[in-house]
Chains A and B, each alone.
Chain A
């Protein structure tokens, strides 16, 4: 032990601040959150003691008779049977949202990366211009797209009117409303994918392409047999991260659709947030949502990892 400390103390010293902060502010809250999901904690019963101040300034405290208590799996049953909130609707939205966003992020990002990896005039300009949406904070982008899709003053409906098509009430139908959010998020997320994939492309050995060309491979064959396999390590990472990030993406839905119409475009994360901080604050319900979201992601990540391992990828 002593010897191990002498040898590794500087490594530990370097990671210590991070570990402490993560421990106190990620793992302790995580444990507490899981615990809260088994209670009926809300705004009105969160105090463990009720203190009354009597005349003269002394204070007496007694246990709160209505304090939050352990309720077992009640929250989970309520959520999964639909007695509280609308879990299944929000789960469907989340899946559609994640699948659509990640597919488009990756597809468009890959296309642009392949183009930008060639040599042509103004390449630097295009590259900077295409990354620019990344620099826009997500809530600003959300408001910008809300403004663009605005039913009366938005430019999209303005253009539709100008060419003689009836304007669309984007936020009055579930799927058109979700569509606006997906557009906003795709706009915001493509640059990250593009940059990551561009880096991956640049690490592929150019000789491979030359050899394939000599062997008479068509551009498509080169793409499928050299580019895609060469990108595999990068792709597997960014798709995993992208899925997790999109799944938990809060500001776009929260500000673009605001759940309109009538909460039917809420995803799980925004649903949980509204449970926790809007109306009567139901902390235990939000915590239960959180546990369910986390479980879904952990299952997804391990399935993903297993799939990669099966394909011979060392994760």
Chain B
């Protein structure tokens, strides 16, 4: 797509890897008290809105069911871990969780492997079919779930894969890989080509150059890819509901909705489940977030 010179990142990827420097275009100056209050005020409000839903769900999850079903607003009332105990012992939630872990982990590993190799080839080599492939990657972003899901469902059914984790892993890779390959290609572009040339002079083949020189330098990009693929698999619902049939095969996306049927939803189980689902995502996020700005923007916006 458009060419943006990610000056700061391109100049010195190694330094960004360490995350030690965040370039600021403007130097710090004296700011008037009023401006300062306005700035922090806006940020406090924004942060409150960003965090409040998460906080509210966490607080609700430690209320007894009877307290959730009260109309008065109370932040705390007789906190208990009973919802979690019931969720983990009386429902299929642990099975769904385990299923999701397997699916997300495999999607992440396979997705990174595929998108990193493809992204590297797109970044470094001029080969016939390259431009076409780039377009295809962009085009796949446009495919609505609605047009692919039925044919993929039929293919999976013919292969006998419906109701298996493998069907979901494959489907999620097709969703995540094009975007990740695109993003990583942009990231590889910011790593100087001279490194490849030096490696070739030292007798490294293209594959070992990729594996031993480029991949270690591309860690911020890879971290973002990992985050993205994991979250894609962890949070996907449409394929999960369509493909998985028995409750013991459900992933979290398909399972959680069972707690909130149209009538008499069980918010106490849902909120506890929501917290437990978000924790692994937040952990992955925590490791990737340092790299988010550098990795995503160097890649996602360069083409």
A interface residues, Cβ below 8 angstroms from B: 4, 8, 10-12, 14-15, 17-19, 21-22, 24-26, 28-30, 32-34, 36, 46, 108, 111-112, 115, 117-120, 126, 128-141, 143-148, 150, 152-153, 155, 157-159, 161-162, 187, 190-191, 195-196, 198-206, 209, 232-234, 236-238, 241, 244-245, 247-248, 250-251, 254-255, 258, 268-269, 272-273, 276-277, 283, 286-287, 289-291, 293-294, 297-298, 301, 308, 313-315
Contacts and interface: CB of A to CB of B under 8 A. Distances in A.
A297 B139 CA distance: 10
A134 to B, nearest CB: 7
Given A118-B39, A126-B43, 12 more contacts: A17-B114, A22-B136, A22-B178, A162-B72, A203-B4, A203-B6, A209-B25, A209-B26, A233-B2, A233-B3, A237-B1, A248-B142
B181 interface: yes
B297 interface: yes
B117 A118 contact: no
B238 A314 contact: no
B155 A29 contact: yes
16 contacts: A15-B133, A25-B174, A29-B147, A131-B285, A136-B54, A140-B235, A144-B53, A187-B49, A195-B292, A203-B9, A203-B297, A236-B1, A250-B237, A276-B146, A287-B146, A289-B147
B154 interface: yes
A8 B206 CA distance: 11
A314 B256 CA distance: 45
A115 B39 contact: yes
Contacts, number: 331
Contacts of A143: 256-257, 260, 270, 274
A147 B272 CA distance: 12
A202 B9 CA distance: 10
Given A22-B136, A26-B140, A147 B117 contact: no
A152 B155 CA distance: 44
Contacts of B53: 133, 141, 144-145, 148, 187
A313 B278 contact: no
Given A36-B151, A153-B70, A315-B2, A137 B144 contact: no
Contact of A18 (B9, B154, B181): B181
B145 interface: yes
A290 B148 contact: yes
A29 B271 CA distance: 37
B242 to A, nearest CB: 5
A185 B87 CA distance: 27
Contact of B148 (A26, A112, A145, A162): A26
Contacts of B262: 258
A120 B39 CA distance: 9
Interface stretch (B77-85, B90-98, B120-128, B192-200): B120-128
Given A158-B72, A203-B4, A233-B2, A32 B151 contact: yes
A233 B186 CA distance: 14
A137 B150 contact: no
Contacts of B145: 248, 250, 269, 273
B22 A202 contact: yes
A195 B147 contact: no
Contact of B50 (A129, A138, A314): A129
Nearest to B242: A277
A132 B114 CA distance: 27
Contact of A195 (B2, B39, B206, B293): B293
A112 B46 contact: yes
Nearest to B75: A155
